[in-house]
Amino acid sequence: MAKVTRRRFVVGLGTGAASLLFSACGAPTPTATPVPAKTAEPAQRAGVSTTTVTPTNAPTPAVSTAPATTKGPMPAEPTKPGAVAAGQPAAAKQTASIRFHLRPGGLVEEWFRKQAEAYSKAAGVEVKLELTPDAEYTQKLTTLVAAGDLGDAYWSGPFYVFYPFAARGIALDLNPLVKAENVDLGVFFPSVIKALMWDGKLCGLSYGSHPGYCTQFTNLDAYKEAGAKPPEWEWRYDKEWLDALKATTLDTNRDGTPDRYGFMFPYISQSAYTFIRSWGSDWIEPTELKTSWFTQEKTVAALQFMHDLVHKHKVAPPANGVVQNMFANGLTAAWQDGTWDVANMGDLIKDKFKWQAFGMPAGPEGKKGAFIGNNSLSVNKSSKYPNETFRWILWLCSKENGLAQADSTTPGPRFDVWADPKVANNPNYKDALRWISEISQPASFPKNARVTEFNTTVTQGFQAFMLETGNPRAKIEELNKAVQAILDKPLL
Amino acid sequence: MLASLSRGQRKALQGYLYTSPWTVGLVVFVIGPMVASLYLSFTSYSITSQPRFVGIQNYIYMLTGDELFWGSVLKTLYFAGGVVLVGLTGSLACALLLNTGLRGSAFYRTAFFIPSLTPIVALALIWAWVLQPRYGVVNGALAELGMAGPGWLTDPAWAIPGLLLMNLWGTIGGSRMVIFLAGLQGVPQELYDAAHVDGASGWQRFWAVTLPMLSPTIFFNLVLGIIGGLKVFAAAYVTTDGGPAYATWFYLIHLFTQAFRFLEMGYASALAWFFFAVVLALTLIQFGISRRWVYYEGER
């Protein structure tokens, strides 16, 4: 036998490692597996009703898109134990095990755990929650895709993996399953469904959606003290709204730094988007999604208005003067935010002052606009259990679960959720309903699905623009160039 | 089969087997990924698609087309320069103070060392509050002195100094100081005694005895300090996320963002290899220059 030299040993090890490496690299990128038209299981078993349901209380007369009656089933059965049992086999035998990716955290995580247990009992399908911290979520899921080990279902949002996975065909087109299970998508707000589409494919469903940064949390005491009326739906940014901001801005010692600003907006892309759309423009040309619109006249005007709020009118804090919880601490009389904070605002403010959430005003031409943000649930195209996974998603998107969401974050995106007294009687959701049902539309995102890159670039560029006092227009030009460079790249 | 091996061969095989867990780990989990990333640096690869060979395009884009690249290099150099200059000086000063033999020095050593044990994320979160412009301790103290504190971490001009402050608090009294202390305690007392007899002042003793004798320690800390400074990531990632307006967009933030947010793995690999080459070159240069100023007692 040949002598085992150090060199031979290292060469042997290297060859072994290289083989391992190549076999790992050679792992195929997940490919689509054909989705069975329908499994043998009856729909009821997974909690999908097949009875025709008429939604109670049409949300508002203004909602013209709301179906008077919805044909077909509600997407999922309620979570109440009694209701879950209805139409279910008494003791469902577990036939499948679903891996579900989501972010950990507080009430929502707890809610998912309960849902997983309830669904497991009711449908006989085990649901394993796989939690990944928010900061690592995108990289974890992407790495799992590369390893061919992505679970059956995954949570996502517009700034996470939703679009890249939809564009790359990782997300299963749910349309055939919707048809096969006779699910009526008409119970959801149309804009929400539109935001879940990619190239005509339905790439997920949403259990909680918001109409963007269209909410202004308002300190009613500050408004009263300043003699200003609370915000009204018809207000325009450059008229009544600006007057109110000026009235509620307080600089008691007149040192140029207000003790309380009239308004505060987050220095991120999404808050600017509300202004841009309300000015009747967009950040990307909305049809082809391949051309930056940051230098469009109306986009510039909207951004300039935000700039003026800070530097000319001095009614909003500059980017380098923002501190945490300014609104709750009474340092600003109003705050641009979203419906997701309605549930928690009371705890944050306690009895410091009276507050209410209103919708943002209209642009100079009377237009309002923002984007739909979905907590989307998608099915992995490579899942062995597409039907079971789809039913799990439907389960999470039920009316009852949509209402439960309102306890900790934004309510479910269904007409019947927003028509329920729990949401409908809450004055903080009054304007938001009109936004989610009539106004906010899916965001215009890059056709090449580079949403995260786009969002990061816009946020940083927006901050640079807002901080610039010399030649802010130059910063817009820079931003436009940077965005166009992203749009010119190939599909992610 | 083993029976046919000679005693020496068997012993060698045994040795290799004992070391194989580490060797295999090194090859599979360190060298393997490094080689893979070198290959990926010549590809366009977004994880969700197969790598496509693009030659040196990534490197060309890095140096000529990426608008954030040079900015991130300059910001990183600025930060690393601050960390090395202030950090090394501060650590040495602390070590000198703790080496004077004052009462309770063991307590002070511990007290100075404790901040370095704080996990970087916890440290960053605490300092985000300490540096908060309106309610933070630092600006509160400045206000007491009649000065308006800046928007640490929120003002582009002050964001890097804010991160430097945060970093230095955690590192001045850390392992660098301990290494300096060990170095100081290794300086032979007879050299000080001789200098004292010759009438050297405290400053002259420091300059002519302490510093030369400490030069290998300073060199060691300098090399590690520069590498550590260039690797700035976690504090910026947690507190500023590269902002405001790219003010803290350090090299590794850029690399991480390209890789794990933008999913440009091929380009990120090129950035990683460029970084590796620069760090290696800087270290080699330091070793080259060190011959002129580092004094190793045993060599002369």
Q: Which residues in chain B have Cβ-Cβ distances shorter than 8 Å to A25?
A: 36
| CB of A253 less than 8 A from some CB of B | no
- The order of strands in the sheet holding A334-337 is A334-337, A215-219, A355-359
Q: Give me the pLDDT at residue A4, please.
A: 59
The residue among A161, A15, B221 whose CA lies nearest residue A151 is A161
| A321 to B132: CB separation less than 8 angstroms, yes or no | no
| CB of A457 less than 8 A from some CB of B | no
Mean pLDDT, rounded, for A221-226? 96
Cβ atoms of residues A168 and B49 within 8 Å: yes
Q: Give me the pLDDT at residue A94, please.
A: 57
C-alpha–C-alpha distance, residues B243 and B254, integer Å: 12
Cβ atoms of residues A389 and A44 within 8 Å: no
| A463 to B244: CB separation less than 8 angstroms, yes or no | yes
DSSP tally for chain A: helices H, then strands E: 19, 10
Q: Which residues in chain A have Cβ-Cβ distances shorter than 8 Å to B44?
A: 490
Going by pLDDT thresholds of 50, 70 and 90, the confidence category of residue B134 is confident
**pLDDT > 60? residue A152:** yes
| B1 to A485: CB separation less than 8 angstroms, yes or no | no
Going by pLDDT thresholds of 50, 70 and 90, the confidence category of residue A20 is low
Q: Which two tokens stand for residue A257?
A: 């730094």
**pLDDT > 90? residue A61:** no
In single-letter form, the type of residue at position A234 comes to: E
From B135, B158, B246, residue closest to A323, measured CB to CB: B135
**A379 Cβ contact partners less than 8 Å away, ≥ 6 residues apart:** A152, A153, A171, A172, A174, A177, A204, A386, A389, A390, A393
**A225 Cβ contact partners less than 8 Å away, ≥ 6 residues apart:** none
| CB of B61 less than 8 A from some CB of A | no
- Residue A380 β-bridge partners: A171
| A323 to B48: CB separation less than 8 angstroms, yes or no | no
**pLDDT > 70? residue A74:** no
- Residue A171 β-bridge partners: A380
Length of chain B, please? 300
The residue among A203, A207, A110, A157 whose CA lies nearest residue A443 is A157
Topology of the domain covering B64-299: MetI-like fold (1.10.3720)
| CB of A52 less than 8 A from some CB of B | no
Q: Give me the pLDDT at residue A34, please.
A: 35
Mean pLDDT, rounded, for A379-407? 93
CA A110 from chain centre, in angstroms, equals 20
Percent of chain A with pLDDT over 90: 68
Q: Which helix (H) or strand (E) holds A218?
A: strand A215-219
Mean pLDDT, rounded, for A340-368? 94
Question: Concatenated DSSP letters for A357-399?
Answer: EEE--B-TTS----B-EEEEEEEBTT-S-HHHHHHHHHHHTSH
Q: Which residues in chain B have Cβ-Cβ distances shorter than 8 Å to A138?
A: 260-261, 263
| CB of A321 less than 8 A from some CB of B | yes
What architecture is domain A43-210+373-439?
A: 3-Layer(aba) Sandwich (3.40)
Q: Give me the pLDDT at residue B129, please.
A: 86
**A74 Cβ contact partners less than 8 Å away, ≥ 6 residues apart:** A49, A53, A184, A187, A398, A399
Q: Give me the pLDDT at residue A230, please.
A: 95
| B245 to A482: CB separation less than 8 angstroms, yes or no | no
Q: Give me the pLDDT at residue B1, please.
A: 66
| B245 to A9: CB separation less than 8 angstroms, yes or no | no
Q: Give me the pLDDT at residue A19, please.
A: 60
- CATH, range A215-370+446-487: 3.40.190.10
Q: Which helix (H) or strand (E) holds A154?
A: strand A153-156
| CB of A319 less than 8 A from some CB of B | yes
**pLDDT > 60? residue B103:** yes
Cβ atoms of residues B160 and B154 within 8 Å: no
Mean pLDDT, chain A, integer? 84
**pLDDT > 80? residue A31:** no
| B28 to A21: CB separation less than 8 angstroms, yes or no | yes
**B19 Cβ contact partners less than 8 Å away, ≥ 6 residues apart:** none
Q: Give me the pLDDT at residue B171, please.
A: 82
In single-letter form, the type of residue at position A246 comes to: K
| A164 to B31: CB separation less than 8 angstroms, yes or no | no
- Tell me which DSSP letter residue B28 carries: I
Q: Which of B48, B121, B261, B269 to mutate to test the interface with A (most CBs of A within 10 A)?
A: B48
Sign of CA dihedral A145, A147, A148, A152: negative
From B5, B156, B262, residue closest to A467, measured CB to CB: B156
Q: At what angle do helices A6-25 and B32-40 cross, to 10 degrees?
A: 50
A290-294, A319-323, B76-80: lowest mean pLDDT where? A319-323
CA distance B29 to chain A (A): 9
Domains A43-210+373-439 and A215-370+446-487 share a fold: yes
> Is omega for the bond preceding B216 within 30 degrees of 0, making it cis?
no
**pLDDT > 50? residue A133:** yes
Cβ atoms of residues A429 and A339 within 8 Å: yes
**pLDDT > 90? residue A465:** yes
C-alpha–C-alpha distance, residues B291 and B300, integer Å: 12
Q: Give me the pLDDT at residue B298, please.
A: 65
For B:6-45, CB contacts with A below 8 A are 9, 12-13, 16, 20, 23-24, 27-28, 31-32, 35-36, 44
| CB of A47 less than 8 A from some CB of B | no
| B67 to A29: CB separation less than 8 angstroms, yes or no | no
> Hey, where are the domains in chain A?
43-210+373-439, 215-370+446-487
Going by pLDDT thresholds of 50, 70 and 90, the confidence category of residue A292 is very high
Tell me whether 0.95 is exceeded by the ipTM: no
| CB of B120 less than 8 A from some CB of A | no
**pLDDT > 60? residue A214:** yes
**pLDDT > 70? residue B221:** yes
**pLDDT > 80? residue A166:** yes
| CATH 1.10.3720.10 domain locations along chain B | 64-299
